[in-house]
Amino acid sequence: MMLSLIEAFLPLAALVLTMVPLVWVAKKDTRMNPGKKLLAQVCLFFGVFLLVSIFELTSIRAADEEVVNAITGTVAQGAGFISAALAVGFSSLGAGIAVAAAAPAAIGAISENGDNFGKAMIFVALGEGVAIYGVLVAILIINKL
């Protein structure tokens, strides 16, 4: 079975789009502010996700009926897995933002007075706890499926 032109170049386009932020890092381009870099990386991520989704849809359509019929499960199970993935993803994202905000403040407090270590690290640990709660929620969701 021959690959179509789209099927041949779609993974290559996805690879190129994922490498663009690495080029910015290698160049150490300081003209672009961090907000625009983050927005560009998020857009690239969703662009690659869309390309991969289109590639998978074309390959599923071209597959034999036996392979397509071998996929079993209900829509509710699929939604459950997606919700578990979203719980882990968003809780990890929130934990990363919380730790990014708390850790520099904790380091500053420790550098001024070494006795503040225990008090400062509590806030960093609270931020990391959010990710653990997301994983626990995902485990509970998957156990119900």
With 90 as the cut, is the pLDDT of residue 18 above it? no
Domain spans in the chain, listed from the N-terminal domain onward: 1-71, 73-145
Note the pLDDT of residue 119. 83
Residue 10 and residue 48: Cα distance in Å, rounded? Answer: 9
Higher-confidence residue of 78 and 35: namely: 78
Its CATH class, for the domain covering 73-145, is: mainly alpha
pLDDT tens digits along 90-138: 999 999 998 888 888 888 888 888 888 888 888 888 888 889 999 999 9
Least trusted range by pLDDT, from 3-7, 23-27, 46-50, 58-62:
58-62
